């Protein structure tokens, strides 16, 4: 299988493209996923004005036509709910909820409808839908376009949550998400779109619920996800220069979560630091720490530490936003503080 270097954005585009070729029931809709629908000068060769707000779905409308790639009104409740309805009756919709912060206007359709139908109906319905949404701070996009919020979705039974960190994982995890029979929330960090990595040309899947051991080490375990995987790996390099060898576990999926990967690593290193860009309360970070406290307490040589965004909204001003995001320096100093 030939691999080449492409961006995270292209990897996501490719997963959608290949799954749409493979399965005619896969459709994509969201605000401006093509753009310019019904304008006379956009017709003909199925031209598109945008291909998504950050051009992630570019070229899909021209290839699959506007019956399978649909622009929507700015009506998130209606089209996310329509994804639930379509999924439970035979399609595999991918709905793009542009920024995760917008879940606020359509949460009922996600957590009361999509997440609960299969269980509530005694297993007689399946909801094979994917909601793709952008997350993350650092884009100077201010409080209502910058949050992570994946912890909230992880809290909801019936939803799967996925947060890829590399182009390879983005493509493989999205293919899995599209083929999965449960609703999957698929979160794309906007500052990862331009990052590059090796990605096979062909279709492949990366299983949901399996963590990736990014770096082996013996002194401490960093459990992390999304953009923070890269920060953690940079910190690991710096720590190695100081003779501290950390293991870095990329969770990749938050629901289901690979508890074994976390516990096995902590049993080996005896120290845990969780690095999470989301806010700290009732979060992925607290969840991982709780798991370790509950099931590997006797293995710990030091308190578990959480490095997260503060318990505040995301500020706009660049210096403030940079201070909001967990830093490589904080990861390094926190790990060092545990080594005593």
Partner 1 sequence: MSLTKEKMLEAYATMKKIRLFEEKVAELFAEGKLPGFVHLYAGEEAIATGVCAHLSERDYITSTHRGHGHCIAKGVDINSMMAEVYGKVTGACKGKGGSMHIADVDKGMLGANGIVGAGGPLACGSALMAKTLGTDQVTVCFFGDGAAEQGTMHEAMNLACCWSLPVVFVCENNGYAESTPWGYHCAAKNISDRGVAYDMPGVTVDGTDFFAIYEAAEEAIGRARRGEGASLIECRGFRYYGHFEGDAMLYVTEEEKKRNRARDPIENFKKRAQERELLSAKQIAETDAKVAAIIEEAVKYAEESAWPDSKEVFTDVYVNYP
Which value, in Å, is the radius of gyration of the alpha carbons in the chain? 20
Whole-angstrom CA distances from 189 to 15, 47, 223 are: 16, 27, 18
Q: In the numeric block, which tokens belong to residue 233?
A: 């790996």
**In this structure, what DSSP letter does residue 184 have?**
E
Q: Is 281 in the site for partner 1 (CB under 8 A)?
A: yes
Q: Print the binding letters for residues 52-71 with partner 1: x by CB under 8 A, - otherwise.
A: -x-----------------x
Q: Is 320 in the site for partner 1 (CB under 8 A)?
A: yes
What are residue 215's DSSP bridge partners? 248
Distance CA 187, CA 232 (A): 19
Distance CA 15, CA 12 (A): 5
Q: Is 22 in the site for partner 1 (CB under 8 A)?
A: no
- Catalytic hit among 41, 145, 155, 311: 145
Q: Is 41 a catalytic residue?
A: no
Binding segment (CB under 8 A) for partner 1, from list 2-10, 57-65, 89-97, 100-108: 100-108
Q: Is 276 in the site for partner 1 (CB under 8 A)?
A: no
Distance CA 32, CA 63 (A): 16
Q: Is 41 in the site for partner 1 (CB under 8 A)?
A: yes
Q: Is 31 in the site for partner 1 (CB under 8 A)?
A: yes
Taking the complex as a whole, the smallest distance from the CB of residue 131 to partner 1 amounts, in Å, to: 17
Site for partner 1 in 147-166 (CB under 8 A): none
Q: Print the binding letters for residues 108-147 with partner 1: x by CB under 8 A, - otherwise.
A: -------------------------------xxxxxxx--
| Burial of residue 33 (number of CB atoms within 10 Å: 0-12, 13-18, 19+) | buried
What are residue 305's DSSP bridge partners? 273
Phi then psi for 253, rounded to 5 degrees?
-115, 140
Taking the complex as a whole, the smallest distance from the CB of residue 327 to partner 1 amounts, in Å, to: 12
Taking the complex as a whole, the smallest distance from the CB of residue 136 to partner 1 amounts, in Å, to: 14
Site for partner 1 (CB under 8 A): which residue of 315, 330, 336, 339?
A: 315
3 vs 320 by CB, closer to partner 1: 320
38 vs 90 by CB, closer to partner 1: 38
Binding segment (CB under 8 A) for partner 1, from list 45-53, 151-159, 218-226, 264-272: 45-53
Q: In the numeric block, which tokens belong to residue 338?
A: 């545990």
Taking the complex as a whole, the smallest distance from the CB of residue 317 to partner 1 amounts, in Å, to: 3
Q: b vs e for 35-52, b when ≥16 Cβ sit within 10 Å of the residue's Cβ? A: bbbeeeebeeebebebbb
Distance CA 174, CA 130 (A): 9
Binding residues with partner 1: total (CB under 8 A): 47
Q: In the numeric block, which tokens belong to residue 219?
A: 């002194």
Distance CA 55, CA 49 (A): 10
Q: Which residues, 6 or more positions from 205, have their beta carbon under 8 angstroms from its beta carbon? A: 172, 173, 175, 176, 179
Site for partner 1 (CB under 8 A): which residue of 10, 14, 96, 101?
A: 101
Q: Print the binding letters for residues 187-226 with partner 1: x by CB under 8 A, - otherwise.
A: ----------------------------------------
Distance CA 295, CA 138 (A): 35
Q: Which residues are catalytic?
A: 145
Site of interaction with partner 1 (CB under 8 A): 31-32, 35-39, 41-42, 47, 49-50, 53, 71-78, 101-102, 104-105, 139-145, 280-281, 306, 310-313, 315-320, 323-324
């Amino acid at each position: 299988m030939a691999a080449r270097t492409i961006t995270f954005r292209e990897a996501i585009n490719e997963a959608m493209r290949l799954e749409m070729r493979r399965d005619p029931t896969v459709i994509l809709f969201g605000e401006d996923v093509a753009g310019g629908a019904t304008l006379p000068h956009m017709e003909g060769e199925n031209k598109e004005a945008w291909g998504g707000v950050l051009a992630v779905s570019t070229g899909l409308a021209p290839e699959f036509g506007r019956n399978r790639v649909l622009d929507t009104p700015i009506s998130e409740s209606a089209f996310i709910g329509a994804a639930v309805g379509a999924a439970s009756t035979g399609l595999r919709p991918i709905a793009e909820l542009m920024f995760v912060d917008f879940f606020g206007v359509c949460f009922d359709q996600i957590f009361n409808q999509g997440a609960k139908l299969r269980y509530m109906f005694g297993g007689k319905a399946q909801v094979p839908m994917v909601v793709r949404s952008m997350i993350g701070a650092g884009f100077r996009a201010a409080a209502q376009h910058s949050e992570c919020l994946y912890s909230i979705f992880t809290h909801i039974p019936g939803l799967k949550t996925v947060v890829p960190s590399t182009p390879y994982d983005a493509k493989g995890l999205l293919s899995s998400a599209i083929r999965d029979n449960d609703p999957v929330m698929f979160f794309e960090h906007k500052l990862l779109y331009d990052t590059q990595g090796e990605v096979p040309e062909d279709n492949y899947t990366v299983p949901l619920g399996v963590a990736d051991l990014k770096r082996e080490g013996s002194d401490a375990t960093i459990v992390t996800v999304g953009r923070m995987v890269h920060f953690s790996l940079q910190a690991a390099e710096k720590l190695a220069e100081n003779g501290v060898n950390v293991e870095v576990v990329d969770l990749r999926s938050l629901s289901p979560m690979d508890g074994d990967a976390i516990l096995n690593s902590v049993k080996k290193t005896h120290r845990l630091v969780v690095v999470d860009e989301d806010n700290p309360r009732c979060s992925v970070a607290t969840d991982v720490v709780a798991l370790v406290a509950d099931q590997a307490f006797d293995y710990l040589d030091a308190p578990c530490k959480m490095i997260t965004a503060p318990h505040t909204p995301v500020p706009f001003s660049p210096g403030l936003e940079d201070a909001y995001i967990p830093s490589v320096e904080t990861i390094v100093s926190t790990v060092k503080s545990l080594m005593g």
